[in-house]
Amino acid sequence: MTNEDTGSERALGRLTAHLLRDVRRPRILVGGLGMGFTLRALLDRLPRHARVVVAELLPAVARWNRRRLGHLSGHPMNDGRVELRIGDVARLLRGRPAWHAIVLDVDNGPEWLVQRRNGALYQEGGLVRLVESLFPGGFLVLWSAERHPRFEQRLSSLGLRSRRFRDSPAAGPILYVVSSRPRT
């Protein structure tokens, strides 16, 4: 984590909020607090009736954000729309619709894992659980250091649609937006 270049983290929050612009009371699950830049950008663009649950695996990261780092991102944890849950984001996936959006910023991409167990999120079973936890029309947004064609193929084989966004036209992190294909 660093506060030297937060553009892609902020872009993750802005993109998610933009995609939710027509949802009056959005419910968002954010996997990974980090330094709070994604959360801050998301909150800055969400309606006052939004609810954001942040799953942070490491209690120390939450403490750092509240006590030492929060000022860097405008103290997003002090926003009344935010609920912090210490633990694995996978524990909040119910297998039934509960979220309009799920934002994952827990790894460096679906194939560059920070924690080995996170690999389950990006495999078939994990992706199915993620999508099943979305309301109809909902989407999964995830941060990735680069493009992952095998991951894209996996999404396609599950009947999921993915789009890629970059914060800048130059090479850099990719934001994947994943949704179910409309039924015909």
Residue 82 located in a structural domain: yes
The answer to whether residues 25 and 57 touch, using CB atoms and an 8 Å cutoff, is no
Residue 175 located in a structural domain: yes
Q: Which residues of the chain have pLDDT under 70?
A: 1-8, 107-119, 167-172, 181-184
Residue 157 located in a structural domain: yes
Domain count, the chain: 1
The answer to whether residues 128 and 157 touch, using CB atoms and an 8 Å cutoff, is no
Distance CA 37, CA 33 (A): 8
Residue 2 located in a structural domain: no
Residue 170 located in a structural domain: yes
pLDDT digits (tens, 9 = 90+) for 81-99: 999 999 988 888 877 889 9
pTM reported for the whole predicted model: 0.88
Q: Which domain holds residue 55?
A: 7-180
Residue 102 located in a structural domain: yes
Sheet containing 27-31: order of strands: 82-86, 51-56, 27-31, 99-104, 134-144, 174-180, 160-166
Residue 1 located in a structural domain: no
Residue 37 located in a structural domain: yes
Say which CATH number the domain at 126 has: 3.40.50.150
| The pLDDT value given to residue 112 | 62
